[in-house]
Chains A and B, each alone.
Chain A
Amino acid sequence: MHEHSLIANLLSRIDAVAREHSATRVVGVSVWIGALAHISASHFREHFEDGSRGSLAQGARLDIEVSDDPEHPQAQDILLRSVEVG
């Protein structure tokens, strides 16, 4: 049940980045998912597409890298890597 809150947090960060750079739209978003983050790339994508509707990130390309290293210091985390703005 945590996806809604996770995606909302991610979108507010994306929004902040876009506004900071006076961007009018978000073209691409790149995220990294740790091996122990408990969410699959496809599930993440679905929630992102749902959640981004009506936001600056609606329709943005989503690049997802999924790590398979459980010993990575951030293996439980999801990182917003970069935001491509236009």
Chain B
Amino acid sequence: MTETTRTIEVNQLARVEGEGALHLAIDGGQLTAAQLRIFEPPRYFEALLRGRDCREAPDITARICGICPVAYLMSSCAAIEDLCGLSVPAPIADLRRLLYCGEWIESHVLHMFMLHLPDFLGYPDAVSMAREHGDLVRTALRIKKAGNGIVALLGGREIHPINVRIGGFYRLPTRAELAPLRDELAWALDAAEQALLPLAALDFPDFERAYTFVALRHDSEYPMGRGRLVSSDGIDLPVASYDDYLTEHHVRHSTSLHSRTAAGGVVHLGPLARYALNHDRLTPRARAAAQAAGLPPVVRNPFRSILVRGVEVVLALEEALRLIDGYVPGDTPAVAFEPRAGTGYGATEAPRGVLYHRYTVGEDGLITDAKIVAPTSVNQAVIEADLRHYVEPNLHRPDAELRAVCETAIRNYDPCISCSAHFLKLTVERR
């Protein structure tokens, strides 16, 4: 058989399409509706999970998001472990926190410098910003890479598709394998502290709202992989009670669901919420960084989330160094367990906020029901409310400018839905 192949040069852009759409209705100069529609893969994954072995849940859900796969791994492990009555020993919990630090660093730096900062400095995107601020962008990329080093080593993508499993890891790193990360993380910690100072001097819109913050809270640590669900309204619940507090409703304008409290309230997840509810759990350098950036213990201006993310980057770097220095590998990479029937609940702090998973598993260990609530879908209502308030004074502006204003407000929350420059499909109905 003769093999004849031809190579065709294409050189075309691959695009992200249909991710987000915003509909604004303006009636006689008044904004009557601001409806955000987001593309939401978790729904699709919930269906995909039914009938699968519960041990597969972490690997399957990690594919939902390329910016925060660790969050999906960790929430699904937490839920299945809850179901099986499993608690992981300290060395494994520490390694998981280290892995989470890696993701926070990567994701926050990406969000801050590549997506958010161009808005404040007046560039259409990071590429044009890089032309005039090359050093800054290179510094940011290097900090991000330090986080990536952690994820690459512990997540083991090159060695194993994914190194995390229910009960622990497939393989534990040695102290000698972790040690080389140290120098770069120490450099990144100094660099992150420095990089935060010019950001603190940015001109932030004068915009504050009275949010109901919701985040995890843990006895001794700034929350990442564990804790109770708390709010600025005073709720304090185990994660298993998530569904009693936040329920999802269909809304006509979106394929995704809206989350509301039983009283119909809208909640705000993410860095501002974590920071406000856990200010007393900040690490020393993170606390100093917050102070140097002029941040009070509660920040209600969503545009300043760029600074709070920066504080969390400092915290994650400081924690990563502590965890590497204190690391003593345990005897076993994972706690043994047998799947059992029941329902398990897990929530962890993804970079963009609480990520909740719930699984029901049958006697055969197969998943019969899965629920995954991404922070973006919970925040959708609060984003719409921000948009209504923020867009109102800008209604007279042409659509192109209006879109830029809206994108800026959305980027306070999520790069997952605003990753490409100018992807947002904006429709404006003027009457």
The interface of chain A, by Cβ under 8 A from chain B, is 1-6, 8-10, 13, 17, 21, 23, 27-28, 31, 35-36, 38-40, 42-43, 46-47, 50, 70-86
Contacts and interface: CB of A to CB of B under 8 A. Distances in A.
Contact of A1 (B6, B14, B40): B40
Interface stretch (B127-135, B226-234, B267-275, B381-389): B127-135
Given A2-B19, A2-B66, A38-B110, A71 B7 contact: no
Contact of B67 (A38, A83, A85): A38
Contact of B10 (A8, A36, A47, A83): A83
Contact of B64 (A1, A38, A75): A1
Given A5-B18, A70-B134, A70-B138, A79 B110 contact: no
Given A5-B17, A38-B419, A81 B9 contact: yes
B8 A47 contact: no
A23 B18 CA distance: 29
Nearest to B68: A1
Q: Which 9 A-B pairs have the closest CB atoms?
A: A10-B14, A86-B5, A70-B130, A78-B14, A1-B416, A2-B16, A84-B7, A42-B157, A70-B137
A3 B167 CA distance: 28
Nearest to B9: A82
B141 A9 contact: no
Given A70-B127, A71-B134, 16 more contacts: A2-B420, A3-B65, A6-B16, A8-B17, A23-B6, A40-B66, A43-B66, A70-B134, A70-B141, A76-B114, A79-B11, A80-B10, A80-B14, A81-B9, A84-B7, A86-B4
Nearest to A72: B127
Contact of A2 (B10, B12, B158, B416): B416
A82 B63 contact: no
B3 interface: yes
Contacts of B125: 76
B15 interface: yes
Nearest to A10: B14
Nearest to A86: B5
A76 B137 contact: no
B415 interface: yes
B421 interface: yes
A62 to B, nearest CB: 13
Contacts of B67: 1, 38
B210 interface: no
A50 B41 CA distance: 14
A1 B39 contact: yes
Contacts of A85: 5-6, 8
B65 A13 contact: no
A75 B126 contact: yes
Nearest to B44: A4
A27 B126 contact: no
B49 to A, nearest CB: 15
B417 to A, nearest CB: 7
Contacts of B376: 1
B13 interface: yes
B16 A84 contact: no
B4 to A, nearest CB: 7
Contacts of B39: 1, 4-5
B66 A39 contact: yes
Nearest to B69: A43
A76 to B, nearest CB: 5
A21 B416 contact: no
A38 to B, nearest CB: 6
Given A70-B134, A71-B134, A80 B12 contact: yes
Interface in B30-81: 39-41, 63-67, 69
A47 B67 CA distance: 13
A36 B127 contact: yes
